[in-house]
Amino acid sequence: METARADVLILGGGVIGLACALFLLRQGAAVRVLEQGVPGCGASHGNCGTITPSHAAPLAMPGTLGVALRSMLRADAPLYLNPRFDGPRLRWLLGFARHCNWRDFERATAARLALLQRSRRLLGELVRDEGLDCEYAEEGVLYVYRQPAKLAADERGHAAVLDRLGVEVQRLRGEAVEAMEPALKPGVLGGLFHPGDARLRPERYVDELARRVSELGGVIESGARIEGFATDGRRIAHVHTTHGAFAGERVLLALGAWSPLLARALGLRLPMQPGKGYSITWTRPARAPRRALVLREAQVCVTTWSGGYRLGSTMEFSGYAEGLNRTRLDALRRGAAAGLHEPEGPQLLEEWWGWRPMSVDELPIIGASTRWSNLHLATAHGMLGVSMSAATGELVAAQLGGVAPAFDPRPYAPARFGL
């Protein structure tokens, strides 16, 4: 059988792979996407769909590791580290611990913000110019507080970091928050409002990206599970899949949390681990929030769309363990019940889990491989794949097209890990 060829062969049909495909097609490249399931079936599908320059600060900072270690005693903690021994996870944790210092925190925050702010601007343009029907709205995201200690800590930390970066954050008193959001139960102490944030329905967004990729002439191979690689010197000659062999002048690795597993076949050790997230989706309740919320004490994100309502968040490090953890879902429900008049919608639509691709330094890995002459990487976006998708697509298209990028790509380069 003849090997199917493309200018760019993209491994992974999640939000990052499809955003890269769209931008590459717009600059004239012939693109083929290989997806082991259906487009967007991974972490792109069930997250809360917030677009958040306000999330520039990484988890890795002094004190985080202690929180994670203490969480081993609480299976319902917002940040949970499963105590089961796992060699690769332990190596990742040691690498993560080395980045829990203020110098690396400041460096990662600046690099994440550059990608997030560019992506936020591009997303509005992309939705308009490509006619993406994904319930995109520039309404901001509201953090809600009921405990003085949590509010004070976030004002000293989270809000102060955004102030230094020039990202607007509005401090609100409790009565102003309750007036802004009648869906909240009484007793709100205060709020932090991020007017530069936005939201969309992530599964719709991915569906719309896939639609436009196909309309512009891109080929999406659903159900094409990657089985191995054939190489020629320092070049990837073709990719073996359950649908046959495929080749590309350039090969883009955009497999999200699966990236380290497939990269092993190329002799690459990606310093990544899956961070498991959960969400629950219902039909819309009568007293639904007007905008995306984060109930900070419980660390529950709440997003409302015209036809749906979702609770999500939490971070669980359990390696590649599959399946729903009922304890984590119950924690989402309890957190919402403590803060909302109607914490659940009339009809349950989906209980979901997904793996977020977490790098040790919490920066994406975007750029050319130093080991393989025709391999490019776009992975490790953590909890921010949807938020960073448009800017990642633009950056990859610029790099592969030999065009000057809109922002400095060096912080994301695979070379920092010898990849």
Per-residue pLDDT for 1 more than 60? no
| pLDDT mean over 140-165 | 95
pLDDT given at position 2: 59
Per-residue pLDDT for 81 more than 90? no
Note whether 411 and 363 are within 8 A (CB).
yes
How far apart (Å, rounded) are the C-alpha atoms in residues 11 and 17?
Answer: 7
The residues near 224 (Cβ < 8 Å, ≥ 6 apart) are 34, 35, 36, 241, 242, 243, 246
How far apart (Å, rounded) are the C-alpha atoms in residues 189 and 393?
Answer: 40
**Neighbouring C-beta atoms of residue 84, cutoff 10 Å:** 10
Q: Which of residues 82 and 2 earns the better pLDDT score?
A: 82
Parallel, antiparallel, or unpaired for β 198-199 and 300-305? unpaired
How far apart (Å, rounded) are the C-alpha atoms in residues 143 and 271?
Answer: 31
Using 50, 70 and 90 to split pLDDT, how confident is the model at 75? low
Segment 277-288, tens digit of pLDDT: 999 999 999 999
Region of poorest pLDDT, from 201-205, 250-254, 316-320, 354-358: 316-320
pLDDT given at position 216: 97
> To the nearest 10°, the Cα dihedral for 52, 114, 270, 312?
0
Helix (H) or strand (E) holding 118: helix 102-130
pLDDT given at position 46: 86
Note whether 50 and 68 are within 8 A (CB).
no
Which of 128, 108, 120 has its CA nearest to residue 51?
A: 120
Which of 322, 325, 321, 318 has its CA nearest to residue 280?
A: 325
pLDDT given at position 67: 66
Using 50, 70 and 90 to split pLDDT, how confident is the model at 69? low
Token duo for residue 375: 């391999």
How far apart (Å, rounded) are the C-alpha atoms in residues 415 and 105?
Answer: 20
Q: What percent of the chain has pLDDT over 90?
A: 82
Output phi, psi for 125, to 5 deg. Answer: -65, -40
Environment class of residue 54 by beta-carbon count within 10 Å: exposed (0-12), middle (13-18) or buried (19+)? buried
Q: What percent of the chain has pLDDT over 70?
A: 96
**Cα Rg of the chain, angstroms:** 21
pLDDT given at position 187: 96
| pLDDT mean over 296-318 | 90
Segment 229-270, tens digit of pLDDT: 999 999 999 999 999 999 999 999 999 999 999 999 999 999
Query: What is residue 167's three-state secondary structure?
Result: coil
**Neighbouring C-beta atoms of residue 1, cutoff 10 Å:** 5
Segment 374-392, tens digit of pLDDT: 999 999 999 999 999 999 9
- Global pTM reads 0.95
Angstrom CA distances, 292 to 124, 153, 201, 216, 386, stand at 17, 21, 11, 32, 15
Segment 181-240, tens digit of pLDDT: 999 999 999 999 999 999 999 999 999 999 999 999 999 999 999 999 999 999 999 999
pLDDT given at position 257: 94
Token duo for residue 316: 């669980």
Q: Which CATH number fits domain 4-417: 2.30.40.10, 3.50.50.60, 3.40.50.300, 3.40.50.2300?
A: 3.50.50.60
pLDDT given at position 96: 86
The residues near 153 (Cβ < 8 Å, ≥ 6 apart) are none
Per-residue pLDDT for 73 more than 60? no
Segment 3-58, tens digit of pLDDT: 788 999 999 999 999 999 999 999 999 999 999 988 877 777 889 999 999 999 99
pLDDT given at position 74: 66
Average pLDDT, the chain: 93
Region of poorest pLDDT, from 1-10, 122-131, 334-343: 1-10
Token duo for residue 319: 């390696």
How far apart (Å, rounded) are the C-alpha atoms in residues 88 and 80?
Answer: 17
